[in-house]
Amino acid sequence: MAFSAFALWAQDWGAERDRMIREQIEARGMREPKVLAALRKVNRHWFVPEAYRKLAYQDHPLSIGHGQTISQPYIVALMTELLEVEKNHRVLEIGTGSGYQAAVLSHVAGEVYSIEVVEDLAKTASKLLQDQGCRNVTVRYGDGYAGWPDRAPFDRIILTAAPPEIPSALLEQLKPGGKLVAPVGRADQELVVVEKDRHGKLSRRPVIPVRFVPMIKKPAA
């Protein structure tokens, strides 16, 4: 049966969002109130291409074009929880993509700076985030491997694409006492948490195996 335009318009997105949180997030043991609250405030379906919008709250990633994806809702929630963001934090995101992760972060952080290597995605996400009221998010087209030195240091850094190893520039831009969450690896990837103590010493722990699109460099001009 075809999914009519009327059915898409009439769809109860609020109920679907609540079901997503209940069945995909809370059922997996996640209970952090501010993360759950942020997920409830963000209209995930607006960050999904229209062709896939009816699938926006299902338990898997979706294509957003340009070889990129919007992550599975559980992974977005998990990474946000692992990041342990506070309202006074300045956060750097590498890989804006659709803008959904940045939108979630906007409700738990003070400032969010997001870099996207695909120019069309950077433009689309920037407009969408503004339209959705995420006024504390700044999106820039650029090379995530270089980070954002003009806005560094950052209390928290999150990567939504997988580098073979965490770029040294990002570790340098992480504030002492800060935390970085990223998928790392090529064929075999794992989600890792890196912490920098007040003396600048780094520690790293693995969380779970994951599968993300590879982190790519911006082509030379």
Cα–Cα distance measured from residue 94 to residue 146, given in angstroms and rounded to the nearest whole number? 10
- Give the active site residue among 71, 98, 106, 126: 71
Structure tokens at 48: 């999904």
Annotation marks residue 126 as catalytic:
no
3-class secondary structure, 27: helix
Cα–Cα distance measured from residue 156 to residue 91, given in angstroms and rounded to the nearest whole number? 5
Distance of CA 193 to the CA centre of its chain: 15
Cα–Cα distance measured from residue 97 to residue 100, given in angstroms and rounded to the nearest whole number? 8
The three-state (H, E, C) secondary structure of 59-127, written as one string: CCCEEEECCEEECCHHHHHHHHHHHCCCCCCEEEEECCCCCHHHHHHHCCCCEEEEEECCHHHHHHHHH
Residues identified as active-site: 71
